[in-house]
Structure 1
Amino acid sequence: MSLSSPSHVSDTPVTGRDALVGVLASGEKPIGDWRIGTEHEKFGFRLDDLRPPPFDGERGIEALLKGLTRFDWEAVDERIGQAPGRTIALLKDGASVTLEPAGQLELSGAPLENIHETCAEVGTHLREVKAVADELDLGFLGMGFQPKWRREDMPWMPKGRYRIMRDYMPKVGSLGLDMMTRTCTVQVNLDYSSEADMVKKFRVSLALQPVATALFADSPFTEGRPNGYLSYRSHIWTDTDADRTGMLDFVFEDGFGYERYVDYLLDVPMYFSYRDGVYVDAAGQSFRDFMRGALPALPGQLPTLRDWNDHMTTAFPEVRLKKYLEMRGADGGPWGRLCALPAFWVGLLYDDAALDAAWDLVRDFTMAERNALRDGVPRLALKTPFRGGTLRDLAVEALKISAAGLQRRARHNARGQDERVFLDPLIEVVEANETPAERKLALFHGAWQGDIDHVFREYAY
């Protein structure tokens, strides 16, 4: 989801569309400078009653964040109205720890060179969180959707942008508040070398995003019962806000590039502008009007590049373009799958031969087929019908291409293993033709005897 804190880019006024296009073009990097940025979210729960911890209190989320500062994280405070600043995030060495709206804890990792480093970063973070959480009698769970608690049971974090979004979401969809409070994801952010490279990667990753959704499907429960989906988190995005979600069919049209994506973002209604430490509510208003000095929320004022960078974070398509590409299709999960997601996409997109093979795999998909995969995957995952077979067939091919790409990258750990080792959890899913969600459902109907509380004990970090 990554509804993160305000950006800290230049306050240069935006005077025309070219400046906005320039922001995307400025993301271009030579291959030697390509990096891997992995983000993941997880649900906190109190060990005694399994409830999500509130922000305040001795066992609250703020106490956890402050506890993590012992590991040399720098606290980031946000002033809420006239109240003193509250700790809402942490920063260290290019990484951040932030809060999603209901206190889901997110690590936004530093830009790293290989998956071995990514997995070490994730492991260090989870150990640090566990050290502090144990003292507070808290646990953390990686899944795509909160398996037990109702929307009204979820706390709200005191962040200005979330108040604005909380008021706006029910106006544009029925599940937006669930997206904010009850979902967790893992995603990876990847670089491009040129506009043409960006376009090719965008098309491949959009077409194959349903494969990632299927492989990582892990949100089959709502309020303690099976919900009829394998990735309910993925379903939620279909009824959150049609103006800012979806498969972006225009990405596959001739002539697609930075300018066309800027035009799309200009059509996405605003949420806010961050001015002088305060979030100004501009929900539903137009960035185009802002550029004319005619934004109702800030009459006479022009947007800055900071406003534009913040606005780019408020679009939620299956793949998102900022100064890099974000893969957004996967449910959150356990430690091993947090390393598998970046491995899958790096293997496909960071090796020229793999990218060519992946494009050959998807280039003749029709718009109807791409959307049918997106629509079918939340319920059926690997068993979604596709061209006389199922999505599993496509997943097998995608994993082969990814593995070959990782092998050619030849980034080895101290034991001489290359990055293919991180694909093992996904290969296991495909070979068994059983998603993580289906495994949990089997336990729910079997050993757990219909008691969802087992998931917190057996699958916590």
Structure 2
Amino acid sequence: MSIPQSGGGPIERREQLAEFLAEGCKPREDWRIGTEHEKFGYCKDTFKPLPYEGERSIRVMLEGLRDKHGWSPVEEGGKLIGLEKGGANVSLEPGGQLELSGAPLETIHETCDEVNAHLREVKDVADGIGAGFIGLGAAPEWTHDQMDLMPKGRYKLMNDYMGRVGTMGRVMMRRTCTVQVNLDFGSEADMVQKMRVSLALQPVATALFANSPFFEGKPNGYKSLRSMVWRNLDAARTGMLPFVFDEGFGFEAWVEYALDVPMYFVYRDGKYVNALGMSFHDFLDGKLPALPGETPTLSDWADHLTTAFPEARMKKYIEMRGADGGPWRRLCALPAFWVGLMYDQTALDGAWDLVKNWTPAQHDALRVAASVDGLQAQVTGINMHEIAREALALSEAGLKARAKTGAGGMVPDETHFLNTLKESVESGKVPADEMLEDYHGKWQGELSRIYGDYSY
């Protein structure tokens, strides 16, 4: 979840909303990679989730990272709720999931080094308190009541609202994890092509990274339960967004979409003002019931953009949001997959050719089938396994064309970060398949063995 935005002046013209998005346009040489990943913390002796307070807790984890590894604290209401260092930040998801939001970096080599350094720091602090961390798309055993709601005003408001819309909002908040990558665009036309390709291929990412086959102690019938949860969250702010594929789509069309997303809050003087279900249209007119007579700032607009949760999301960059959290190798594979597709024009054109004739119904059906069947998904003539193979080949070609070297020039490009995905495509098995085999095989139905086999 995003932190409060700052620095935006008053909105005096409606055109500023689209101009704000257009400010994200960057020349190719300035395109960067921002990787985010979430993970569950637990007590090693009980396998129960870490609470916020206590000797073994999320607060102690944050304090340890602050004191031992040079992170600066971020507080809200006197509570430590995050950390900052070198353009990156560590934040808390609603159920205590620890998230690294990485710095904008030039290569996958750099972003993977960042992931490695972060996980080493987390393990160092966690080992000292008898805690562990595991990368999964959904909590395998824990119930809602076992997971503390983190002390952030945004989450308190959302928790109330999620109880009134959809059916899975509170499950999403406490019991799911993702890995995502944030990528740049060069122009409005470039943004349009990237948004269309990224939305169409999110189900492929969901299938390749499916890693949440367990829930409340048993198999749940999905390869990616996390994906199913998001489908049943809140129809007003999730989905595959068919309007993105309409002729004329651009920054202004995204503004119209975002304005229709019901509000959650307005951030004022360090506090979250309840604006649940209210309209940003009214806010622009000075008629927001929560703040009568007050009009928004660009910071309010930036905050509001973070409350839409489609499969791919635009801010001043594009967020790829379809993948389950997972093991180390896939934390590096996710940005590699999308950078290969998005940052080489030939690969991007090839990806668009792959998906340009799909219908809105096929987009939706692929999203559902990916969550249930992973690479075995079949939708009206579309074979997920074959589409994944083709997309991966395009990504690999794109990374070769980028030719970003690593290890002081010893590694010629970034293609090796795709190896774990290539293994999945060759075998037809994603992490969910492997875990289900373990559960029915060597674990003999004892799900607690997942912690020893799959923790960082």
TM-score, normalization by structure 1: 0.97
Q: Are 2:430 and 1:435 aligned?
A: yes
- Find the aligned partners of 1:4 and 1:98 in 2 and give their Cα distance: 8
Q: Are 2:70 and 1:75 aligned?
A: no
Alignment partner of 1:310 out of 303, 313, 337: 303
- CA-CA distance at 1:9 after TM superposition: 2.7
Q: Are 2:122 and 1:124 aligned?
A: no
- Find the aligned partners of 1:4 and 1:34 in 2 and give their Cα distance: 21
Query: 1:4·1:100 contact (CA, 8 Å) conserved in 2?
Result: no
Residue type of the partner of 2:270?
G
Query: 1:14·1:302 contact (CA, 8 Å) conserved in 2?
Result: yes
Residue type of the partner of 2:325?
G
- Find the aligned partners of 2:187 and 2:313 in 1 and give their Cα distance: 16
Residue type of the partner of 1:196?
A
- Find the aligned partners of 1:394 and 1:5 in 2 and give their Cα distance: 36
Residue type of the partner of 2:398?
G
- CA-CA distance at 1:107 after TM superposition: 0.1
1:112-155 alpha-carbon deviations (Å, 9 max, x no partner): 00000000000000000000010111100000000011112111
Residue type of the partner of 1:336?
R
1:54-69, aligned counterparts within 5 Å? Answer: 54-69=51-66
SS in 1 for 2:96: coil
Residue type of the partner of 1:238?
R
1:74-119 alpha-carbon deviations (Å, 9 max, x no partner): 001111xxxxx11100001110000000100000000000000000
More divergent stretch after superposition (362-371 vs 155-164):
362-371
Q: Are 2:429 and 1:416 aligned?
A: no
Correspondence for 1:96: 89
Equivalenced residues, count: 453
SS in 1 for 2:243: helix
Q: Are 2:409 and 1:393 aligned?
A: no
Correspondence for 2:374: 381
- CA-CA distance at 1:376 after TM superposition: 1.1
RMSD between aligned residues = 0.8
- Find the aligned partners of 1:162 and 1:231 in 2 and give their Cα distance: 24
Query: 1:215·1:382 contact (CA, 8 Å) conserved in 2?
Result: yes
Correspondence for 1:275: 268
- CA-CA distance at 1:16 after TM superposition: 3.1
- CA-CA distance at 1:201 after TM superposition: 0.4
SS in 2 for 1:171: coil
Residue type of the partner of 1:185?
T
1:210-242 alpha-carbon deviations (Å, 9 max, x no partner): 000000000000111000000000000111000
Q: Are 2:30 and 1:37 aligned?
A: no
1:266-317 alpha-carbon deviations (Å, 9 max, x no partner): 0000000000111001010001101111111111111111111110000000
Query: 1:4·1:99 contact (CA, 8 Å) conserved in 2?
Result: no
- CA-CA distance at 1:389 after TM superposition: 5.5
Residue type of the partner of 2:304?
H
SS in 2 for 1:134: helix
- CA-CA distance at 1:369 after TM superposition: 1.3
- Find the aligned partners of 2:243 and 2:382 in 1 and give their Cα distance: 27
- Find the aligned partners of 2:20 and 2:343 in 1 and give their Cα distance: 22
Correspondence for 2:396: 403
- CA-CA distance at 1:417 after TM superposition: 3.7
Residue type of the partner of 1:450?
G
- Find the aligned partners of 2:387 and 2:355 in 1 and give their Cα distance: 9
Correspondence for 2:343: 350
Q: Are 2:16 and 1:23 aligned?
A: no
Correspondence for 2:49: 52
Residue type of the partner of 1:73?
W
Q: Are 2:211 and 1:213 aligned?
A: no
1:163-187 alpha-carbon deviations (Å, 9 max, x no partner): 0000001211110000000000000
Correspondence for 1:82: none
Stretches of structure 2 that go unaligned for 5 or more consecutive residues are none
Alignment partner of 2:237 out of 219, 239, 244: 244
- Find the aligned partners of 2:392 and 2:205 in 1 and give their Cα distance: 10
- Find the aligned partners of 1:307 and 1:251 in 2 and give their Cα distance: 24
SS in 2 for 1:180: helix
1:318-329, aligned counterparts within 5 Å? Answer: 318-329=311-322
1:167-186, aligned counterparts within 5 Å? Answer: 167-186=160-179
SS in 2 for 1:235: helix
Query: 2:369·2:379 contact (CA, 8 Å) conserved in 1?
Result: no
- Find the aligned partners of 2:54 and 2:360 in 1 and give their Cα distance: 50
Alignment partner of 2:453 out of 443, 446, 458: 458
- CA-CA distance at 1:15 after TM superposition: 2.5
- CA-CA distance at 1:60 after TM superposition: 1.1
- CA-CA distance at 1:387 after TM superposition: 4.9
1:143-222, aligned counterparts within 5 Å? Answer: 143-222=136-215
- CA-CA distance at 1:386 after TM superposition: 3.6
- Find the aligned partners of 1:367 and 1:274 in 2 and give their Cα distance: 36
Alignment partner of 2:224 out of 231, 240, 257: 231
- CA-CA distance at 1:384 after TM superposition: 1.0
Query: 2:172·2:230 contact (CA, 8 Å) conserved in 1?
Result: yes
- Find the aligned partners of 1:183 and 1:16 in 2 and give their Cα distance: 39
- Counting aligned pairs with the same residue, the percent is 59
Residue type of the partner of 1:260?
A
